[in-house]
A = this chain, B = another copy of it.
Amino acid sequence: MDFSIRAANVEDCKDIARMILELSVYEKLADHGKITQRDLEQDGFSKNPFFHGIIAEVPEQHKTKDGHLKIGYALYFFSYSTRKGRAIYMEDLYVMPEFRGKGIGKALMSKVAQLGLAAGCCLLNFTVLDWNKSALDFYSSRGCFDVTAEQGYHCMACDGEALQRLAQP
């Protein structure tokens, strides 16, 4: 199937917000729907953006029954590892279910890797849910490894009131 991958722009935020919601429902996450089109516009497309994005698009003849042409996305930002150096972090990789198995996810991920290498990164990081076997298989087949399983790293977080308390001197 014909598709193209391109850098996301502010006009894509409506579709990215829609797909973030689809992904979070798929991932059975409790807090889905929190991030709005407006959040994405402000956080990704103003001065000092918190993320960048790429979009997978299909031509008119392949549009979904709801009329969507933007059928996949990946968000990423640059990061750093004191073990490895410059790194790129992929926050979300998503392709709408009816467009899976056509190489679109591979093409999106390949583009993220290219963008990382072009910026001098030697490491790509992301997270995956341990029950998401198809995602784990996809990433393993692409040469990625499970840092949590192999080296014991756990993801930690602090938010809400705990973050406010943490900031108290």
Contacts and interface: CB of A to CB of B under 8 A. Distances in A.
A47 to B, nearest CB: 12
Given A110-B169, A143-B165, A156-B145, A83 B35 contact: yes
Contacts of A67: none
Interface residues of A, number: 74
A149 B157 CA distance: 11
In terms of DSSP, what is the predominant structure of the interface of chain A? mixed
Contacts of A84: 31, 34-35, 159
Nearest to A5: B169
Which of A24, A44, A167 has most B Cβ within 10 Å?
A167
A20 B81 CA distance: 11
Given A24-B83, A113-B166, A145-B156, 16 more contacts: A29-B83, A32-B83, A77-B79, A116-B167, A117-B163, A122-B159, A124-B157, A124-B158, A125-B157, A128-B153, A129-B153, A129-B154, A130-B152, A143-B161, A145-B157, A148-B153
